[in-house]
Amino acid sequence: MARAHNFFAGPAVLPLSVLEETRDAIMDFAGNGVSIMEISHRDKAFDKVVAEAQADTLAIMGLSADEYSVIFLGGGASLQFAMVPLNFLHKKADYVNTGAWASKAIKEAKLIGEVAEVASSKATNFNQLPKNIKYSGDADYVHITTNNTIFGTQWKSDPDVGNVPLIADMSSDMLSMKRDFKKYNLIYAGAQKNLGPAGVAIVIIKKAWMEAKAKQSISTILQYKTHVDAGSMYNTPPCVSVFVVGKTLKWIIKEGGLEAVQARNQKKAKIIYDIFDAYPEFYKGSVVNKEDRSLMNVTWNLPTPELEEKFIAEAKAKKMLGLKGHRSVGGMRASIYNACPMESVELLAKHMEEFYKANK
């Protein structure tokens, strides 16, 4: 089967080798004669899947298992919007509003306690990241969204929030670049954009902080400690999704880790952004500051909606899928996650050049 060029924002492109390993495990997992969809999550063979995924996550991020725990949960990042404040919002939390998902996280936190929206780029339709942010300094935590899938902005560096615990939703750029992960007390990510299929969220949490600050007066299943203590086995985890995440983590390691992955992601993004810069009146990038441009989600408009429809139709005829922008903003979007091949980006760039020459 010929593979299409996949630019969907999520669920999104996965490494071909991971798809092939998953296909095989669907029929026969670990030589047991049963599918990964059928085997008990209590079986030793699946225990190994979880343990290796946890260890590989920490190894890639340069974190110690003595300091951090990795857990796999259902409910996606949307559940984390609620779990974070349920566990850690005692008096007040600082949130930086950089897009739709940050806005949803803020909405959930406000149901729990006081939220200080310390910075927002909503006034300019989230086309840039806020600058010169002044954090409260006495908040229970600071929450950021590192990559904004809909609007195409991304934090390239980790914010300095002083001694306040830092929490990040990294759903759409998780393990796409080197970061100082030790700065974070909690990181969460829905897998379906850069790590695996829909159905599982990965959470990395600093143990000592959890033990000292997490509430114990909330529902058992909503406590992070419950899942840490149970090794992600408090209830039946999304086994197939965890398996795929585990294989994707091994693919990242085989590719050379975050340094190699980041270099390739930067090269892919530059190919498209260079076209924006060459034809700015035709390819109108959504993000106003170059330093804020996402390496994962490239967003733009053409001079008219009719040209945008024509561009997408002609790209689809060349087996380039998923280029239509999010329904809330329109335009176009190319999601070029870790597993998006260089040849897909090069084909998109060629299409952009040809389309410009034919329609300028």
**Residues annotated as catalytic (active site), given as ranges:** 101, 169, 193
Angle between helices 342-359 and 305-317 (to 10 degrees): 130
What is the C-alpha separation between 61 and 182, in angstroms, rounded? 9
CB of 63 closer than 8 Å to CB of 204: yes
Residue type, 163: N
Two tokens, residue 81? 């919007």
CB of 213 closer than 8 Å to CB of 140: yes
Element (H, E) at 116: strand 114-120
Number of H helices, E strands in the chain: 10, 14
| Rg, the chain, Cα only | 21
What is the C-alpha separation between 243 and 45, in angstroms, rounded? 11
SS3 131: coil
SS3 188: strand
Burial class of residue 359, CB neighbours in 10 A (0-12, 13-18, 19+): middle
251 to 56, 197, 332: CA distances (angstroms): 10, 15, 29
Q: Give the CA-trace dihedral at 164, 168, 174, 178, to 10 degrees.
A: -30
